[in-house]
Structures are given as structure tokens and as C-alpha cells.
Structure 1
Amino acid sequence: MGLRMGLFSKNKKNAEIMAIRLGKDGLYSASVRFSSGGLPVLEFLSFYPKAEQAWPVLLERLARETPAKQKQCLLQLNANDYQWFAMDALNVPADELKNSLVWRLKELIDYPIESASFDVLTVPGDIQNGGRNQSLIAIVIANQQLSLQQNLFADAKLPLSVIDVPEMAQRNLSVRLEVEGRGLAMLSFDVHGGLLTVTYGGELYLSRRLDITSTDLGTQDIRERDASFERISLELQRSLDHFDRQHNYITTAKLVVSPLGEVATLLQQYLASNMYLPVEIMDLAQIVNLEKIPELKSAERQGAFLSIIGAALRQEASAT
């Protein structure tokens, strides 16, 4: 079965990609250039507001005004486009894994499995102990939804090569901040919501969605904002405690919060006083050379584009 283009298919060697997201508020795109020394360079970044525009109009504009046609296009799905299931490993040979997963997924989705495409990631478990506690992540998308996205790109004559998800984009960012031999927790927010991930050794081990958006955090109502802080803190403690029990061989070095402007500092202070982990605010300039895109000196702009830049970093990150 599997996704028709392979959700996490490896890119052609040295082929540059344009990461594209049809977001809630508009069309995001980004591309980076990798060099043998130094940070990857953010070469291109754009945002076309949705307003009353139809997606075909915005994609045609992207095809006309940007280098997208000269690159492999990567479509980053939104959280409501697909389902993400963490599950125990199956004791079957690798070549039988997908067929075995069909039966497991049949019970988890509310439409016929024959109408779905899916891909699977392996969470390595304890690498020092023969992969003990290995687990799986299945990403499922309805074929109707997948075809809709593919047709939009085909109509705009944009070469769609890869379909990816925000969890993997955040992995691409997180692995560049890891301390060797330690895990790294990362918490980001945008207009779609919050996302907590933990990576270790370049692999994604944990992913949790939070229904709190960057807009919620930016409210001027202090009581509402503090209530959001409390919910975030409780969810982090619950998720990271569970992670520590499940993966007691991983020591998480710190929690990195995505750049959000002034509110990120307030959130960092709140979390630092309620958690056992050091809490830092991400500086995107530690991960990517931003010199060509001066607007990203603003932390708020960094936060808005973080996920699409993470998707663009996939080219060098290990594809699964």
C-alpha cells in the first residue's frame, strides 16, 4: 500500500527542494542551500496571504514568481489533513510490516482502509540494548485528500516529489540543536496550534499536539494567557514524565521553545519555574544562515516560518 509518492521518500541526491504549505492563513514556501562548511543558507522565503484567494490562484502565482518549478516541491501537510498514530512494534518481518499494519489501522480510522494511504516510521528504542522498546508511528491520509493536493500541484505545473508533515520538520530543526548523547525537547506554536517533540540521536521519539495557538498566546488578556501557560505546563509535565518512564535510557538535556517575540520570554520564565529541565528560547540563526532574509531578524516572523523552514531542511536531514 503506502503513500503513492512515499511520504518520506528520499530526495534525489543534491536535488534542491522548495517546501510549500497551504496553511490556514496563506501559502508558505521556503528553500535552503547546503554547503560543506557552515550553516545551511535560507535562500528563499515567501508568504501569500489566503484572504479570498483560491489555492489554484496562489499556486500559479508561486509557480510564476518563484524558483519552485526548477526544484523538487515538498508539500507540508496541515495537522487536520492526516492522522498520526503511535503504536507498539509488531513482531513481523520488515517486508510484512505494512500488510500487518493494515489490520491495526482498520480499527483506528473511521473510514475504509482501502480508501487510505499510509506510511510508517520506526522509533529505534534503546539502540545500546538491541532496540528494546522499539515502536512505530503510522501516518495516514485519505486518498481523496491526497489526490486533491496532488491535483492542485499538477494543475499549477509544480513538480510535487515529496509529501511531509510538521512533526518531521520539527525533527529537522531539533536534531541540529541536540547535545550528543542527550535528548532534546522542542515546543513550537503557530496559527495551527502547538507541537511538542523529543528527538534523540537524530530520531523522532515523541510527538504531542497542543490545541493552543500562537494567537492564543499573543492575547492581551493576561488571565487567558496565564491559563494557556498553565495548560502548556501540565501537558509538558505529563508528556515528558511518560517519555522518561518509557525511555529511561534517554536523558533529555533541555526544552527549547520556538521564537514568539515577547511572549516567548514570559512562557520560558513560567515553564522554567515549573519544570526540572532548563528552558531556552530558540534562536533560528543557530540553525540556518538568515542573512539573505532580513525580515527574520524579528522573532515573531521566525515563529511564523519555523515549520516551513524545518521542512526545507529535510534535504540534508536523514529521510526515513
Structure 2
Amino acid sequence: MLGWFNKSAQGSGLLAVAIEPEAIKFAHVRAANRDRPMATRWWSVPCPASEQAGSLQRETKEHGLARFTCTTLLEPADYQILLVEPPKVPADELKAAIRWRIKDQLEYHVDDATVDVFEVRAEGDPKGSARAMYAVATRNEVVQKRITLFQDARIPLKVIDIPEMAQRNVAALFESPDKATAMLAFSSWGGLLTISFHGELLLTRRLEVTSVQLGQREHGDHYRERVATEITRSLDIFDRQRLSVGVGEVVLAPLPQDPELEQFLRSRLYVPVVVAALPQVMDFADGGEPTPEEQWEYFYLFGAALRVEEKAL
């Protein structure tokens, strides 16, 4: 059976794959040499965890996924993201120093962890002069299991990514030239606030409020108030970092479960709040724009597929 992707698309773009407890989800985006990124396909295959390997292999065969470079997203429960003070060590010793600093904050022994880091720098600061750093740590077994899953399906896996970076990629499409952009998104596992500027992630914070809770008719305002409070605190923290740039607006990711959140936040926050509709900044193949529900469901996958190559620290 021929796949959905024609031969002209072979090898182009990035295919993002999410391995979720009850489904495997896919999104393919072409961003290079385009004024606006184009999402060509997005789809989901229901399957329990015990059938993930077989399902991924079947999708690979049916749609020719082995032709595409892929990225995959971890679930937040699979990793920790920690804010750390930059150690004053040579670049080639940085990751070892970071591992030492975070070892007591991990839920397992640091020798069992895969760790990566990225800098938080003010506008104009040279590389190596970070004001802070984020360390991302996950168990080695989580990484190896994901790599094996893709190897068995013969899919070329380029990178294992996290929702924070995927959200930053989407936020970059809404950025203004002189102000930082705060983006707020909610999923079944909780909320995520990111603040970025010129494609650089400056602050990230998880909120213990889910899309399901915000959609509750009886207790919705209680959870909205919690969200507003957490955002205000985060904006205040960001202002105190003195990164030479302020937040221009809060961009609310698609959230069809709670149409009232936008107006609620506008009444509580001291910065403008706007709603992000992905068709404002992306094209979709054959004019098949995703519904609001699909924009919410595939938000992080679209973001992961927008990834551009980054230089390691």
C-alpha cells in the first residue's frame, strides 16, 4: 500500500512522534526554505502500551516513515527539568559539573541519568555567559527504551525532545521583535508556561492544572484563579531576572475545553492576552486546517516538528 507522503516529500521536513499511554501520534512539518511552516499530515493510532512496538512498525511500513528524519517527545513524567546556577568550569567540563549539582534533586542515582543542559542568556549576552541554566534529566532506561522502539521500526530518530522546547518552537512563530513572548498551554497532564525571546527559552514553569479541570463547569473559576496567580508570579520572577527584555503578551495555546479562560486572564493579568490559532502562522497541506480540537491535541507534536538544528553546549 502506498503511503500518504508522495515521493517529492521524501526526506524533507521533520516527523514528530509521541508515544502516549493509549495511542501513538504523528505530525509532519516542512519548515526549511518556507516563509511559513507547512504541516503536511497529522494522525493518531490508538493502541495500548503493550502494542506500541507493533503499531509503530505497521505505520512505518504503511506510510514509508523510514524515509523521514524523526523526533520524539517525552511525557513530563519521564523527565525532570531543573533550574541551576551556571558552574564556573571550562566548556568541556560543564555537563559533569551540572550532573554533580543536580544529583541530590533527582529521584534516582545520577549515574542512571541522561542529562542535557541549555542556557538562559540576556539579549546580547555572548555564549558561555549564561545567567542561569536548565538541566533536563531522564533515566537512561527511558532513553534506551525509546531508541530501541524506533530502531526496531527502522525509523531514523534524530532527537528525543521535551514539551518545553516544542512549545518554544510554536511561540517563536508568534514573537514580536522587541518583546518576549509568554505562551501558556494545557494538556491532560497539566499546564506549561514558557517565556522566550528570539527563539531562546528564558523561563519555563509547569502548572498543576489540567485541561480537564479547566473544562469543569462547577469548579472552572477556581482553577482559572490558580492559573492567573501562577502566571502573575512567573511574570514577576521573570522581571526580577533583569534580562533586558519585558514580556509583550501572553499567548494562549488552543484550548477548546475552556473558552472562558481567555477573558478571565485578560481581567487578571497586567499584560495583553491573545489566543493562538495555528493557521495564523502555519500552512496546512491541501487547505485541510486542523479543527480547534486537533490544534489542541497535536499542539506539542507540531511544535516538536518545527525544531531546527541547535548547537550543543
1:4-41 alpha-carbon deviations (Å, 9 max, x no partner): xxxxxxxxxx8632110112442111111235343111
Q: Which amino acid aligns with 2:18?
A: R
Q: Are 1:175 and 2:168 counterparts?
A: no
2:8 aligned partner: none
Shift of residue 200, structure 1, vs aligned partner: 1.0
Distance 1:244 1:57 in 2: 49
Identity of aligned residues (%): 33
Shift of residue 159, structure 1, vs aligned partner: 1.9
Larger relative contact order (C-alpha < 8 A, sep ≥ 6)? 1
2:39 aligned partner: 42
Shift of residue 143, structure 1, vs aligned partner: 0.8
Q: Are 1:299 and 2:292 counterparts?
A: yes
Aligned-residue CA RMSD (Å): 2.2
Give 3-state SS (helix, strand or coil) of 1:273's partner: helix
Contact 1:183–1:198, Cα closer than 8 Å, also in 2:
yes
2:4 aligned partner: none
Give 3-state SS (helix, strand or coil) of 1:107's partner: helix
Contact 1:170–1:307, Cα closer than 8 Å, also in 2:
yes
Contact 2:15–2:27, Cα closer than 8 Å, also in 1:
yes
Unaligned runs of 5+ in 2: 1-10
Within 5 A, what are the aligned runs for 1:149-164? 149-164=146-161
* Match among 144, 147, 151 for residue 144 of structure 2: 147
Shift of residue 52, structure 1, vs aligned partner: 7.3
1:7 aligned partner: none
1:289 aligned partner: 283
Give 3-state SS (helix, strand or coil) of 1:292's partner: helix
1:54 aligned partner: 51
Unaligned runs of 5+ in 1: 1-13
Give 3-state SS (helix, strand or coil) of 2:258's partner: helix
Shift of residue 149, structure 1, vs aligned partner: 1.3
User: Which deviates more, 182-191 or 104-113?
Assistant: 104-113
Q: Which amino acid aligns with 1:207?
A: T
Distance 2:172 2:277 in 1: 14
TM-score under structure 2 length normalisation: 0.89
Distance 2:257 2:22 in 1: 22
Q: Are 1:166 and 2:163 counterparts?
A: yes
* Match among 184, 188, 196 for residue 191 of structure 1: 188
Within 5 A, what are the aligned runs for 1:50-89? 50=47, 54-89=51-86
Distance 2:269 2:53 in 1: 46
Contact 1:126–1:133, Cα closer than 8 Å, also in 2:
no
**Aligned pair in 2 of structure 1 residues 293, 231: CA closer, same or farther (>3 Å)?**
farther
1:31 aligned partner: 28
Distance 2:65 2:223 in 1: 38
Give 3-state SS (helix, strand or coil) of 2:219's partner: helix
**Aligned pair in 2 of structure 1 residues 39, 79: CA closer, same or farther (>3 Å)?**
same
1:280 aligned partner: 274
User: Which deviates more, 67-76 or 300-309?
Assistant: 67-76
Distance 1:181 1:113 in 2: 40
1:111-162 alpha-carbon deviations (Å, 9 max, x no partner): 2211111111111135269987611111111111111111222222222221
